[in-house]
Amino acid sequence: MPVSSARGAGRSRPNFRDEAFVVRTHKLGEADLILVLLTKEHGIVRGVAKGIRKTRSRFGARLDRFSRVNVQLYPGRSLYSITDAATVATYAPPLIADVDRYYAGSAALEMAQLFASEPSAADEIFLLLDATLRLLSTDDLCGLTPVSVVDRFVLQCLDVAGWAPSLVDCAQCGAPGPHRAFHAGAGGAVCVRCRPPGAFTPPPQAMRGLWMLSKGRLGEAATIFGDANLAATAHDLLLAHVRQQLEVPCPVYAAL
């Protein structure tokens, strides 16, 4: 009797252990969850955690969305089965206790899943996500707001993907900047000659703040984004660029 392709595919995949973050969950039946994992070595993996929604589940606390865990996965027909989980690091308590940090952390998980869809980038995205959640769990956030912490993460992910916006020189002709206009479809900052219709003219400090974030100069970025209007404008510029590049919804990040 021939073996179905689904069963054959399931058997051909090996079981493995890896570190992971839970980036998304879906309910399955009355007690199970489908977990979307960003793993350190295997990219995005989907697995079932049996009985995780039961009160006495041994997985419940360990597979928290803001924890770095070591998981054991066995292949099934279409999904892996998560049979063991151990906490490596947890950033959950400070994020769950503060609504702004919680939504920022949730947005970071959302964006990590989107950017890690390319397997070659997944390991870098994993490490960037770990650093971002760690920063969100600190007391002072290096002086940044939770939204700006996530904006920094998104800039880092865009750089890994090769889609980083130009924030100083003209994205079209390379003319040295800084330039006043920004157009997401053109790739970021644009000079007067390359400026397309519909380009936005933000306050210069908004783009400068994003540039500071992209270079890891967090103290200087925090000083600029101490002005809430500049921080909001910078976030909107980055969101427009992300939408242009990814062409998929990012509702949690967009709602920040």
CA-based nearest residue to 68, from 102, 92, 101 = 92
CA-based nearest residue to 29, from 57, 56, 58, 49 = 49
pTM for the whole thing?
Answer: 0.91
Structure token pair of residue 146: 């939770």
Instruction: Identify the pLDDT of residue 64.
Output: 82
Instruction: Identify the pLDDT of residue 7.
Output: 37
DSSP state of 62: T
Contact (Cβ atoms closer than 8 angstroms) between residue 40 and residue 123: yes
- Which helix (H) or strand (E) element contains residue 43? strand 43-49
Instruction: Identify the pLDDT of residue 61.
Output: 67
Q: Go through the domains of the chain in sequence order and give each one's CATH number.
A: 16-91 (2.40.50.140), 98-255 (1.20.1440)
Instruction: Identify the pLDDT of residue 6.
Output: 37
Identify the segments of the chain with pLDDT beneath 50: 1-10
Distance CA 153, CA 147 (A): 10
Instruction: Identify the pLDDT of residue 60.
Output: 64
Sequence-separated (6 or more) residues with CB below 8 Å from residue 20:
37, 38, 39, 40, 45, 68, 69, 70, 71
Structure token pair of residue 19: 């570190």
